[in-house]
Amino acid sequence: MLLNYIQKRQKMLEESNNFYTASGIHVFTKDELVNELVDLEGVIGKLESMLPEHLRDGIEMVIVGQFGEFQERGINAFYKDGALYVSNFQSDNADLLDDLIHETAHSVEEQYGMDIYADQELKDEFLRKRIHIYNVLWNMGFKPVEADFLETEYDQDFDEYLHQGVGYDKLSEILKGIMVSPYAATSLREYFATGFTEFYLHPDSHGYLKKTSPELYKKLVQLHKMEES
């Protein structure tokens, strides 16, 4: 009897931690969500309803838990090889949805990188904003290195400079009307991903994104309407 109970209990746990969504995304909970009020299945269902199918094609799995990359890189989610890895520490459903959409943006980059970056327009828009930030910081008394603001790849030291040296609160003020968030300034890829997240999380306020980042907005509209050939 005891063995039978243990086997049934194990099967129940496996079924609750391991399921497929209606569109075929495999969801695996490696480590239980700390906040029991977070509705994992409901949030992923919302993700599927918000994003067109062709922009979700790069997602095969969602894996929830703790991973070494989180501590090493100071992050709580990442995309790799068709899987979205998200932390089991989520404050609420909105927090989880934000992470999932943001990392989906990085999967979209792999699928549609040429459409996003080949014409250099997005890069040029990003670097113009970076130079503006550099000039503002210099006038405020900071002494940043100009070359750092001309790089488009993510650099952890540069991120830490913005986060700790300048401060995201102060940077938020500088970036009003320029970028949707301080993290958007850390790299070209994060500029795209934060815009992608804003585009889908706040569909009723596209006017702000269009005004602040017209080239990025144009790319996002094109991607949204695009059908994978």
Give the tens place of pLDDT for each residue, 49-82. Answer: 999 999 999 999 999 999 998 888 888 999 999 9
Distance from C-alpha of 199 to C-alpha of 105, rounded to nearest angstrom:
11
Q: Using alpha carbons, select from 71, 97, 94, 72 the residue that is nearest to residue 84.
A: 97
Give the tens place of pLDDT for each residue, 170-219. Answer: 999 999 989 999 999 999 999 999 999 999 999 988 999 999 999 999 99
Total-model pTM: 0.90
User: Which pLDDT band, with edges at 50, 70 and 90, does 16 fall under?
Assistant: low
User: 2-112 has which fold?
Assistant: Zincin-like (3.30.2010)
Q: Using alpha carbons, select from 182, 131, 181, 135 the residue that is nearest to residue 160.
A: 182
Sorted by where each begins, the domain ranges of the chain are 2-112, 119-225
